[in-house]
Amino acid sequence: MRKTLLYLLLALASITTSAQNKREFRGAWIQSVNGQFMGMGTEKMQRTLSYQLDELQKDGVNAIIFQVRPECDALYASSYEPWSRFLTGRQGVAPSPYWDPLYWMINECHRRGMELHAWINPFRAKTKNTTELASNHIARQRPELVFPYDGLYILNPAYQENRTYICKVVADILKRYDVDGLHIDDYFYPYPVQGCVIPDNFEYSSNNYGFGNINDWRRNNVNMFIKELHDTIEAVKPWVKFGVSPFGIYRNKKNDPARGSMTNGLQNYDDLYADILLWVEKGWIDYCVPQIYWEIGNKAADYKTLINWWTANCTNRPLFIGEDIERTVKFNQQEIKHQLHTSLLGHKSPLQGTVLWYAKAAVDNIGGYGTNLRNIYWRYPALQPLMPFKYGDKPGKVRKVKPIWTSDGYVLFWEAPKSRNYKNIANKYVVYCFKKGESINIEDPSHIVAITPNTWYNLPYVNGKEKFVYVVTALDRMSNESAHVKKNVKL
């Protein structure tokens, strides 16, 4: 019986790994608003993050979504907003010894071949448990721009000044930091709380833009913001990817028979005033990550129903699924969900990846989730999905590929390709390894041995008796891949 089970597991692993796609967004959210780093101190936080990144890299993760602005504050050096209390324990107090977590994380992620997407909460100005705001916080500098709601402060989306301010903060991040993406989640207007009313009747009556009801007017306020943020990113750094992670239900079918899902829960469109599908259809965002945190069979929001709904409706931009690790493990559904993803994943489907909620749960290997990622589901590396709507030209081939003996051992070196503009600049490189005589197929991710920002690769030399063919390609910012260059090597 035990042998039969072992054979079944090995067969399943073989099927799963052979089905792996060469291109897949494999993200993980690293949050700060839960206080996991608060007051930890520079050395311990760097050590903690280094460990998390190492483990996530082993798990196959290729993109980190790092929360750097939870409540109009900053886990980076900002001239506009105060240092976050979720970093130092008190808002406005700089870390000591001094460091810049965003700058540090960018370097650490890039060194590991990962993307770094800076995650901001645009409108939330104060969380419930924050009792003290720094003197330079916008809610103290301009209290008329925020409204209170159930213990929160919210930058009022009705004010153009607020939308412009958020875009200014984002432009500052983009200009000073080498981020790969700018990410926002599901907090626009606040989640509805019984007995609480959004205090914006005055703004609606003052300038309703011709909308006959306040709900459409609120949605328009958020729509204008998303369009302005998209335009800001395009103007400052057009290669930066703009992603949104909405609540998992767009609308219920009972509210929208034509476009709703067979669900019964809170809705982006009606309750948060976020018309996600409009943003996708207009091309205002570059990727969408709905938070489908429920299990298969959930009576209010079935996972399978929702993943199929988003795949059918979110067709104009890459779709990544937000996955709750703890809930998935609790209901023993990791393999079922992965097979569902695999059946939908591909070039003809908008579904092109997964983002894990949240990173620490994978690192802690809850229910063996991380082990399964690294040994089965994400065993081989993956390149980022293509985004030809941003740009699709391939970079040139790498030059002068040559193995050289150095003090660090036998090293394969190459030179970056020549480039004409930012679209052709090589950003990373992919190194493949094939046995002598083996067919060169760079579409097979099992042959990838490194995705690296470096122009060298340390070869695993043994005795110089076995022949291999190493292949090197260049990737640009959009992961467009160059033609390959081969080099015969004896190891």
For 83-87, what is the mean pLDDT?
A: 98
pLDDT tens by residue, 210-266:
999 999 999 999 999 999 999 999 999 999 999 999 999 999 999 999 999 999 999
Give yes or no for residue 18 having a pLDDT over 80. no
Q: Name the token pair of 339.
A: 């097979």
For 128-157, what is the mean pLDDT?
A: 98
Q: Which of 14-28, 103-117, 261-275, 332-346 is the least confident region?
A: 14-28
For 36-55, what is the mean pLDDT?
A: 97
For 311-316, what is the mean pLDDT?
A: 97
Q: Which helix or strand (DSSP H or E) is residue 468 part of?
A: strand 467-475
By residue count, the chain amounts to 491
pLDDT tens by residue, 92-123:
999 999 999 999 999 999 999 999 999 999 99
Tally of CB atoms within 10 A around 402: 11
Give yes or no for residue 398 having a pLDDT over 60. yes
Backbone angles phi, psi at 104, to 5 degrees: -65, -45
For 65-90, what is the mean pLDDT?
A: 98
Q: CA 87 to CA 78: how far, in whole Å?
A: 14
Q: CA 435 to CA 370: how far, in whole Å?
A: 30
Q: How far is CA 153 from CA 89, 142, 311, 382, in A?
A: 19, 12, 35, 40
Give yes or no for residue 277 having a pLDDT over 70. yes
Cβ neighbours of residue 23 under 8 Å, at least 6 residues apart?
A: 352, 382, 383, 384, 385, 386, 479
- Give 193-207 as a 3 state SS string: CCCCCCCCHHHHHHC
Q: CA 412 to CA 403: how far, in whole Å?
A: 4
Which residue carries 């931009």 as its tokens? 317
For 380-399, what is the mean pLDDT?
A: 96
Give yes or no for residue 7 having a pLDDT over 80. no
Q: Name the token pair of 64.
A: 């980190």
- Among 112, 126, 123, which residue's Cα sits nearest to residue 28? 112
